[in-house]
Structure 1
Amino acid sequence: MIGVVAATASGRTAAAALAAAWPGEVRVLTGDRPADALREAWRTCDAVVSFLAVGATVRVLAPLLGHKTADPAVVCVDESARFAVAVLGGHHGANLLAGRLTGVLGTQPVITTASDGANVPALDSYGRDLGFTIDNPELLARVGAAVLSGEPVLLEGADGWPLPALPPNVSPDARDAAVGILVSDAADPARGGREDFGGARLVYRPPSLVVGVGSARGVTAAEVGALIDSTLAEAGLAPASVRCVATIDLKADEQGILDAARDRGWEVVTHPAEDLAAVDVPNPSDVVRAEVGTPSVAEASALHAARSLGRAAELVAAKRKTANATCAVARLTPRGRLSIVGLGPGARDLLTPRAEEALRRAAVIVGLDQYVDQIRDLVRPGTRVLENGLGQEEERARAAVEAAARGNAVALIGSGDAGVYAMASPALEFADADIDVDGVPGITAALAASNLLGAPLGHDHAYISLSDLHTPWEVIERRVRAAAEGDFTVCFYNPRSRARDWQLAAVVKILAEHRPPETPVGFVRNATRPDQTASLTTLADLDPSDVDMFTVVLVGSSRSRAVAGRFVTPRGYRWA
C-alpha cells in the first residue's frame, strides 16, 4: 500500500489523481496535522508519497528511521508537481516509485543514488528479482565503493545466473582485488570461491537448492526440521539458498512437513508419484515403491522440483533418514532469460520505461547495428553487445537464444514492436523451454504513422508486408486482394526498395478496383525521427516513387476520408 500525504489543495488534487490511477494501491491521508498523517503512513504503508517539502518530511520521519531494508520507501513531490524526489529507500522502491509518478503527474524523477548515477546495478538489489539474499550486508558500502571507484573486484559464482552486467573492473579475472562478490550456496563462503583469495567477499545466496522430504504419516515437525538442518549442514549448504521443500502429493497435508517448512520460511511443492517414479535416483527403494508408487520420494522430489524450476538439476546431498523421515537436496541450474524488446519507432520519448529497464537489466544485448546505435547510451558498462547488419536476422536470433541458453540475461532488440515484422518470431522458433522469455511491447511504425496522419486505423485494418524475400509474390497478391475485397484499411510495410520498385504500384492497382479514386492514402517516412515526413494524398494521385523502405503506407477503406487535412477512417458510431 502507498500512503499519500497532502496538506494543500494542489497536493490533495494530485493525491486524488494517484488514487484514481492506481486503484487499490493508494491510501490518501489528509488532515489538519500533516505530521501525524505522515507518521501514520510510515507506520501502516509500504511506501509513502509526501506532498510536503523534503526538509519537513525528513524532520518528521528522522526519529522513526530503522533500516533501509525494512523502512518504507519515501518520495517527496513539490507543490507544483514538477519533481518527484526519491528521499528514502532508493533501491528499495523509492526510485521506481518516483518513476511511476511521472506517468500520472508528469513529474521529473530526481534520483541521487550513486549506482544509478553511474549506470551501474545497485549491489543491495543485485539479483533481488531472482530471489538472491545478501549474507553479509555490512560489506555493501565497502564493496559498492570499490565497484563505483573502478577498483578491481573479484566476481565468483555468477556464471550461469541471468544477472545484469557489472562494470569491467568487476571480473572473475580481477587481479590484486581487495574485495570480491561471491554468489554461492556453500555455507562456508571460502568453499564457494577461490581458495587463494584473502579479501573480503560480499556473499549473495541464490535460491538454488531444493530440499526433498519423505515421511511416515504423523511425523513431527521437530523430526523433519532436525533432519533437514543436519542434511544441509553435513553437505555444507546454506539454508538461505533453499528455494522450497518438495515431496509427493500424498504428503500435501502432512502437518509435520508443512510446519517444518513454514518455520524456515520455505514453500512446499508436491508432485504425483508417476512423475517421481520417472526420475533416476541413486538410492531407490522397492519398499517405498510398493507403498506409494515410486521408488523414491526425497531424492526424486528434490531432483524433479529442481529440474522444473531450472534447466538442469544435480543431487548434492543424497538421501538421509531418521525413524520417520527422509531428506535429500538437489541444486538447480537456472534458466537464462531472453527479453525481446521493441524500441519503438525511433523517438527516445516513445521508448517505453519497461524497455529501458530491460536494456539496463541485460548482460548481453543483441541487435541490428543501427538499432544498437539508438540505445547505446543506455547500455550499462560491462554489457556485451552483439551487433551486425541488415540481412543477418537469423544470426541475431540464434546468437540471442544461444546466449540465453548459457544462463545469461539477454535483450534482443528490434524497432517498433519486436513481435511485428521483427525479431520475436525467429527467436522464438529457436528457443526451447529451458529459457525464460519476456516480451517487451513497443510502439509500432504503423501506430506512429497513424497518429501523425490522423486516425486511419479507426476501424478494421490489415497489415501486409510487400517484401517478397521470404513470402512469394503470389501469396502477397492474394492477401492484398482479400484485404481489398474485405474493405479493410491496409497498412503496407516494406513497400518499395531499389530492387523492388514495382510491387507498390501493383497493389495500388488492385485496391483501385475496390476503392474510389479519392480514397485517402497516407505515407510517413522515418516516423518520429528528426527527418520524418508525412504526406496525405489519394489513391489516384499516389506516386510510388515517393516511397522507400523507410516508409509506411496506409490506404483507406471505402469509408475513409480526409477531414481538415487529416486521414480519418470512421468508427461507425451513431450519435443520438
Structure 2
Amino acid sequence: MIGLVAIDGAVRPLAAELHAAWPESSRVHVASRGNCFQAPDAMSFALGRYRRVVAFAPLPTVVSLLRHRHLEAPRGTSLLCVDPQRRWVIPLAGGEDADELAREVQLVLGVTPVFTGYPSSPGHPPITPCPPFVPGTPADAPVLRVVDQEDPGDSDVLVYPRTLVVGIGAGSGAARAEVMRLLTDTLAQEGLDRSAVARLATVTGKAEHPAVRWAASCLTGVPVDEHPVARLAEVPVPNPSGLVGTAVGTASVAEAAALASAPGGRLVVAKRKSAAATVAIARTTVRGRLAVVDLGPDGSDRLGPQALTALRGASAVVGRPNTIETMADLLRPGTRLVAVAVPGTVRSASGRVVPWAYAAQDGTGTAVDHIGAATRLAAHGHTVVLVTDGDDAEPAVPPGPYDVHHVPQPAAEPPAQPAGDPA
C-alpha cells in the first residue's frame, strides 16, 4: 500500500489524481491547518504506516518537516516528493525502489523524475540540492523567472503568479471531461501553465454546472466568478456571436466573462470551442504587496503578531540564507522560500548549505540581491515578505507596482521593578 500525503488542501486534487490511477493500492491523507491532523501529523502517520510514501508539497516544505520536526523514515521506506506545480518527482529515500516508484508516478502525472544518485540512510533521507532548488554561484546562478508559461526546460528558478482568468461557457449538455479537455488542450497549445490560473469566470447561473465545478476542482479549487448577462453584454470582445446573443442574451460568455474578471487586463487567448463548451483566457494585472520584517538582534524569537500574520499570509518569503532558514516553521505549507545567497557563497551563518539557496538574477541576467529578488516577485503580483537581520533596518525599496509596508518590531518589555520600596 502506498501512502499519498497532501500537505494541504491545495494539492489534494493532484493526490486524488494519482489515487484514481491506483485505487486499490493507495490511500490519500490530507493535512489540514484547521484541525489536529496537521502537516507533521500527516507525514508522521504515513511514514509509520506505509513502506512507500508520496508527499505532495514543495521540496523545502518536506525538508523542513523531516529535519525540524524530527520525523524519521524507517529503514526500507521509499519517500518521494511531488512538486505541486506538476513539474518534478524527487526520490528522497528508498534507493532503487523509490526510483522505480518515481517512474510510475511519471507515467500517471507526467512529472519529470529527478534522481539524486545518493543512497538513503535510515531516518534521514539525503537532502540534496535538486532542481529547481539547485544552489548556484554568480557565474552560473539560476535566473529568478516569474512566468505563467510552461517550464521551458532550463535550470531557472520559476515562480508562477496566478494571473490568468479562464472564461467558460458551458451548455446544458457539456460533460465534465469535455470542458476539462478543452481547457487543458488550450493551455497546452498556448504554452500556459495551469498553476497560473487564478479563477474561472462564467455567466450567472453556471457556477454550479457540474463541468464548471469539476474544472475548478481540478485547478486546485480556484474560485468561480459569475457575471450577470447585462454585464457581459457591455464588455467589448473580439469574437461576438449572434447565435449566442439570441440564446443567452449576450453575444459572448467565455471572452466577456474572462475580461470582466480581469479588470485592466487583456485577452491572451480568444475563445476556443468544443461541441458544447467554450473557453477563453485573460491575463489580469495584480498589484503586489511587499512587507519588510526586520528580525533585529533577537532573531525570530521576538516576532510580534503583525510580523507573524505577514509571514503566514505570504506567497514568498525572501532574505539571506541565515535569516530565511529560521522561517520555515512559521510559514504555511506551500510558501516559497527564496534565500538569496551573498555573491560567492551559498552557505548559511551556521555553516551548512541551505537546500533552497541560490544566487538570483533578474530576467536580463543581472545579479540581484535579496531586495531585488523581493521587489521582482512583488512587481508580479505576489504577496512577499522581505526578512532582514538588522543590517538593513530601513532597506531602500524602490517604488513599483506594489504596496510597501514596514512591519514594526514589538516594543521591548520594560525591566522588572524590584519589589517593595527601595528606600
Aligned 8 A contact 2:289 2:404 in 1: yes
Q: Is 1:270 aligned to residue 225 of structure 2?
A: yes
Residue equivalent to 2:266 = 314
SS in 1 for 2:211: helix
Among 384, 402, 406, the residue aligned to 2:369: 384
Q: CA separation in 2, counterparts of 1:61 and 1:323?
A: 49
Equivalent residue runs for 1:90-489 within 5 Å:
90-91=63-64, 93-95=65-67, 97=69, 132-135=85-88, 136=111, 138-139=113-114, 141-143=129-131, 146-148=134-136, 152-155=140-143, 157-158=145-146, 183-186=147-150, 189=152, 207-262=162-217, 265-273=220-228, 275-277=231-233, 279-285=235-241, 288-289=244-245, 292=248, 294-307=250-263, 313-341=265-293, 343=295, 347-348=298-299, 350-352=301-303, 355=307, 361-362=317-318, 384=369, 404-405=378-379, 407=381, 409=384, 411=386, 435=402, 440=407, 442-445=409-412, 448=413, 451-454=414-417
- Under a length normalisation based on structure 2, what TM-score does the superposition of the two structures give? 0.50
Aligned 8 A contact 1:211 1:329 in 2: yes
Aligned residues: percent identity? 28
SS in 2 for 1:147: coil
Report the CA distance shift for 1:441/1:62 in structure 2 as closer, same or farther (over 3 A).
farther
Per-residue CA shift, 1:476-498, capped at 9, x if unaligned? xxxxxxxxxxxxxxxxxxxxxxx
Aligned 8 A contact 2:295 2:389 in 1: yes
Question: Quick one: which amino acid aligns to residue 272 of structure 2?
Answer: R
Aligned 8 A contact 1:320 1:328 in 2: yes
Q: CA separation in 1, counterparts of 2:189 and 2:279?
A: 12
Report the CA distance shift for 1:289/1:441 in structure 2 as closer, same or farther (over 3 A).
farther
Aligned 8 A contact 2:166 2:197 in 1: yes
Q: CA deviation at 1:329?
A: 1.6
Equivalent residue runs for 1:1-16 within 5 Å:
none
Q: CA separation in 2, counterparts of 1:405 and 1:184?
A: 14
- Under a length normalisation based on structure 1, what TM-score does the superposition of the two structures give? 0.39
Report the CA distance shift for 1:65/1:352 in structure 2 as closer, same or farther (over 3 A).
farther
SS in 2 for 1:189: coil
Q: CA separation in 2, counterparts of 1:239 and 1:411?
A: 27
Question: Quick one: which amino acid aligns to residue 223 of structure 1?
Answer: E
Report the CA distance shift for 1:335/1:46 in structure 2 as closer, same or farther (over 3 A).
farther
- State how many pairs are aligned: 295
Q: CA deviation at 1:62?
A: 9.8
Q: Is 1:89 aligned to residue 41 of structure 2?
A: no
Residue equivalent to 1:80 = none
Question: Quick one: which amino acid aligns to residue 51 of structure 2?
Answer: L
Question: Quick one: which amino acid aligns to residue 138 of structure 1?
Answer: P
Report the CA distance shift for 1:328/1:440 in structure 2 as closer, same or farther (over 3 A).
same
Q: CA separation in 2, counterparts of 1:145 and 1:385?
A: 16
Q: CA separation in 2, counterparts of 1:361 and 1:288?
A: 46
SS in 2 for 1:250: coil
SS in 2 for 1:362: strand
Per-residue CA shift, 1:437-479, capped at 9, x if unaligned? 777563114xx2xx3154xxxxxxxxxxxxxxxxxxxxxxxxx
Equivalent residue runs for 1:492-503 within 5 Å:
none
SS in 1 for 2:205: helix
Report the CA distance shift for 1:306/1:437 in structure 2 as closer, same or farther (over 3 A).
farther
Residue equivalent to 2:54 = 67
Report the CA distance shift for 1:94/1:241 in structure 2 as closer, same or farther (over 3 A).
same
Quick one: higher RCO (CA 8 Å, sep 6+), 1 or 2?
Answer: 2
Q: CA deviation at 1:318?
A: 0.2
Question: Quick one: which amino acid aligns to residue 299 of structure 1?
Answer: E
CA RMSD of aligned residues (A): 5.5
Q: CA deviation at 1:25?
A: 1.8
Residue equivalent to 1:564 = 420
SS in 2 for 1:267: coil
Q: CA separation in 1, counterparts of 2:114 and 2:403?
A: 32
Q: CA deviation at 1:214?
A: 0.9
Q: CA separation in 2, counterparts of 1:295 and 1:269?
A: 21
Aligned 8 A contact 1:213 1:327 in 2: yes
Q: CA deviation at 1:298?
A: 0.6
Aligned 8 A contact 1:317 1:328 in 2: yes
Q: CA deviation at 1:331?
A: 3.1
Question: Quick one: which amino acid aligns to residue 351 of structure 1?
Answer: R
Aligned 8 A contact 1:132 1:207 in 2: no
Question: Quick one: which amino acid aligns to residue 284 of structure 1?
Answer: P
Q: CA separation in 1, counterparts of 2:406 and 2:221?
A: 30
Question: Quick one: which amino acid aligns to residue 225 of structure 1?
Answer: M
Q: CA separation in 1, counterparts of 2:389 and 2:144?
A: 33
Q: CA separation in 2, counterparts of 1:363 and 1:142?
A: 20
Per-residue CA shift, 1:232-265, capped at 9, x if unaligned? 3433334454444321222122223323544565
SS in 2 for 1:443: coil
Per-residue CA shift, 1:139-168, capped at 9, x if unaligned? 48554685256661442632xxxxxxxxxx
Q: CA separation in 1, counterparts of 2:132 and 2:214?
A: 38
